[in-house]
Amino acid sequence: MTRFVAITAVRDFEARVRQAISGALHGDLQTLSPDVLQGGTDDVFKQLTGAPPEVMILGPGVSSDDALKLATVFDLQYPEISLLLVSAPEPDLVLRAMHAGVRDVISPDIEVSELRVLLERACLASASRRRGMQPPAESGHDRGRVIAVMSPKGGVGKTTVATNLAVGLGAVAPMSVVIVDLDLQFGDVASGLLLEPEHTITDAVHGPAAQDSMVLKAFLSVHPSGIYALCAPKHPSESDYITAEHVSKLINQLATEFKYVVVDTAPGLGEHCLATLELATDGVWVCGMDVPSVRGLRKSFSVLKELQLLPQGRHTVLNFADRKSGISVQDVEATIGVPIDTVIPRSRNLPFSTNRGVPVLQGSSRDSAAKGLRKLVDRFDPRLATVQPTKVHRRVVVS
């Protein structure tokens, strides 16, 4: 469990720290009076309870000079503790804080969502330093589930399904979900989540991020729903510099750090998609309720079966379901040769939410499409995995 210590007398800021920690960072907070800065590090540690802290927040409402003096000593004696200074980020103060070993200078008016991200990164930095100070740990820890979201053809709502799946899983496992946009030329995860990423997958597979999973996390974009996103390159030409080997290494890195890795692949079965399937624990196949899409899915299943690349977990999603389309769910199942697991009816709310960049599962929508998406999320919820339904693939009626 992560330990946070805040030296402040400002109750409003303390409440925001508690709110940022609650439900996302799995830790507790101890608050100390600013008077503790008059003593040394020993006086600070005498007032601490439980395990040593991983993150120490200095301020607001403390003297900057006293805070930086304490930070200098802590950086030398306890380098594994991440230090955050809460003060107006003036250039001179930021430079002094950097020299004193402070990781970030935080504005006292910072929003809870931004504060949560900074605390998360401070925790990661502390864990990285602690790992560097200890003997190498034995490998073999649990890997996250790699969920490949695929479709043989474009235009079937694959990215909408992927983004809603990631947001839905974010409610199940806050800050433990990452979505990767592997449609390297024309990926829309960023627009589907209303993100303007500072870094993209190009940055993640080249340079220091490719060598260190902790560094890689700093290249991810944080979404307000509590998930991370690694978006597609800003220019289609950058896809030429990302190989299948890059993709395999990236997914392996993310699977060691996250409980769920949702990969939104490009339509078809390109080399990046096949590299993802080699590592995927689950495959989510999305098709529309039209003949070309259904036949394309049948061919896709046939090819992947020959290549022995069908993941153990199979989840088939029928999107844009409409009884007036001329074909039924039973027709689709008979063609593709497997049952339909999730039906998402045609809905006006779904394209509206996609155009806004706010997935329907981010809100409280109760329309039929949202219900279908929630059923898909439930298939990955470990709390429901132990509940065995009487009939796994029941017939679905499209309204």
Q: With the CA atoms of 214, 219, 223 and 229 taken in that order, what torsion angle do they form, in degrees rounded to the nearest 10?
A: -90
Residue 20 CA, distance from chain mean position: 16
pLDDT of residue 137: 41
Does this chain's domain 2-133 share its CATH topology with 145-385? yes
Of 72-86, 137-151, 225-239, 281-295, the poorest mean pLDDT is in 137-151
How confident is residue 274, by pLDDT bands cut at 50, 70 and 90? very high
Token digits for 70? 């304490």
The pLDDT tens digits of the residues spanning 10-46 come to 999 999 999 888 866 777 899 999 988 887 777 787 8
Measured CA to CA in angstroms, residue 284 lies from 85, 110, 187, 218 at distances of 44, 38, 17, 28
Contact 27, 2 (CB under 8 A): yes
Q: With the CA atoms of 251, 257, 260 and 261 taken in that order, what torsion angle do they form, in degrees rounded to the nearest 10?
A: -20
pLDDT of residue 24: 67
Listed in sequence order, the residues at least 6 apart from 35 whose beta carbon sits closer than 8 Å to its beta carbon are none
Percent of the chain with pLDDT over 70: 91
Q: Would you call 317 exposed, middle or buried from its count of C-beta atoms within 10 A (0-12, 13-18, 19+)?
A: buried
pLDDT of residue 1: 46
* Summary mean pLDDT of the chain: 86
Question: Residue holding tokens 């043989």?
Answer: 152
Q: What CATH class is the domain 2-133?
A: alpha beta
Domains of the chain, residue spans: 2-133, 145-385
Of 22-26, 336-340, 373-377, the poorest mean pLDDT is in 22-26
* Residue 207 or 353, more confident: 353
Strand 104-106 vs strand 260-265: parallel, antiparallel, or unpaired?
Answer: unpaired
pLDDT of residue 23: 65
pLDDT of 380 > 90? The answer is yes
CATH number belonging to domain 145-385: 3.40.50.300
pLDDT of residue 385: 60
Question: Residue holding tokens 């220019």?
Answer: 235
How confident is residue 233, by pLDDT bands cut at 50, 70 and 90? very high
User: In what helix (H) or strand (E) does residue 169 lie, and over which residues does it extend?
Assistant: helix 158-172
Average pLDDT over residues 230-236: 92
Between CA 152 and CA 156 the distance in angstroms is 9
Q: How many helices (H) and strands (E) does the chain have?
A: 16, 13
Q: With the CA atoms of 191, 277, 370 and 295 taken in that order, what torsion angle do they form, in degrees rounded to the nearest 10?
A: 100
Look up the pTM and report it. Answer: 0.67
Average pLDDT over residues 82-111: 90
pLDDT of residue 390: 39
Nearest CA among 310, 319, 316 for reference residue 339: 316
